[in-house]
Amino acid sequence: MNSQSELSLTSPAGINNAPLADKPQAPIDIRFGQLGVLQLRIRTLDPGVILDELSGRFSSAPGFFRRAAVCIDLLTVKTLPDLDQLRAIIEAVSRTGMIPIGLAGEATAIESLAVAVKLPVLSALRTQMRPGPALEPLQAEPESQVEIEVEASSSEPPASDAPGTRDTTALLHTQMVRSGQRVYARHRDLVVSAGVASGAEVMADGCVHVYGSLRGRAIAGTRGDTGARIFCQEFHAELVSIAGVFRIFETIPADLSGKPVQVWLDGEKLHCTRIGT
């Protein structure tokens, strides 16, 4: 896992004179670390169109993004919504089961809206990846009015924001990645020598290699590296993604289920095929 910078808030009373081994733990910790958040870019202020588009994109795996945190990005709309329009958009997104947790866009322009709807401005979490349809990997939709992609952020400044810039040394994870866990390889490839359980997530700025069963989610090229790939020994994935282009699986195709599979991106098309064919 990537390192995290940590700020501990500790009451000074009675601590400085205590032996090091007897010091009580701080009552709280504040940590900056990698965070995965769905980003919803909209090009329309019509809540009905947004709801229909989201429902259509989630139809192949209903409930997959239920209770997923989502940031509503207003940078791509021609004019900012008024308060009533924004509330209607938030309601439409909420009806899909996702939970809006913030707004993104020009911070000064949306500040008053964010305050009115009691959501934070998350402009600092904006992804550096190029725009692209996230849930329609086989058919690009340049005119689509809604885009969804996953953001990856960290407190550590990147060595370079250029896609494809990464460490040549892979991060090796030797244990099973269990449900609810996430492993993230920053600026490098990720190698998992065990399996990835359902509900678990493995992420890398480079390629993802799973020498076992992949039953959870695998996300490669999180900073926009379109040349990144996903490899696994047994394919049972819930979701695969490269550089923001997604494919979700409610049912694995028979020719891929349990087989060694590689996933790569060609333009706006995400390809999944058996290794060796």
- Quick: pLDDT tens for 32-80: 555 667 788 899 999 999 999 888 877 766 666 778 888 999 988 989 9
Q: Report whether 42 contacts 73 (CB < 8 A).
A: yes
Give residue-wise pLDDT tens across range 129-139.
Answer: 333 333 333 33
- CA 73 – CA 58 distance, rounded (Å): 19
CATH fold of the domain at 35-153: Alpha-Beta Plaits (3.30.70)
Helices (H), the chain: 47-57, 83-95, 107-117
Q: How many CB atoms lie within 10 A of CB 224?
A: 20
pLDDT of the residue at 26? 78
Answer yes or no: is pLDDT of 157 > 50.
no
Rounded percentage of the chain residues whose pLDDT exceeds 70: 70
Residue spans of the domains in the chain: they are 35-153, 171-274
**Domain 171-274 coded CATH 2.40.50.140:** no
Minimal CA–CA distance to 179: which of 197, 159, 153? 197
Global pTM reads: 0.53
* Percent of the chain that is helix, strand, coil (3-state, to 5): 15, 35, 50
Helices (H), 36-184: 47-57, 83-95, 107-117
Answer yes or no: is pLDDT of 121 > 60.
yes
Residues with Cβ within 8 Å of residue 16, at least 6 apart in sequence: none
Instruction: Tell me which of 116 and 5 has the higher pLDDT.
Output: 116
